[in-house]
Structure 1
Amino acid sequence: GVRSPTPRPGNVRRQITYKARWAGRQLSVVDRWYPSSKTCSACGAVNKALQLHQRRWTCPACDTEHDRDDNAAINIEREGLRLIDCKAPAALPAESRRAAAPGALQSNTASNTPMSGEINARGDLG
Structure 2
Amino acid sequence: MLIEVNDDFLKEIKQITEAMNITPGEYLENLYKNTQNLKDDLLEDKEDFSTFVEEYHLILNELSRHQENLLASVKEIDDTLVTQRVFEELIRLCSDDISVLSKLYKKYKEQDDRIQLI
Structure with more relative contact order (C-alpha pairs < 8 Å, separation 6 or more): 2
TM beyond 0.5: no
> More strand per residue: 1 or 2?
1
> More helix per residue: 1 or 2?
2
TM-score (norm 2): 0.30
| Greater Cα radius of gyration, structure 1 or 2 | 1
TM-score (norm 1): 0.28
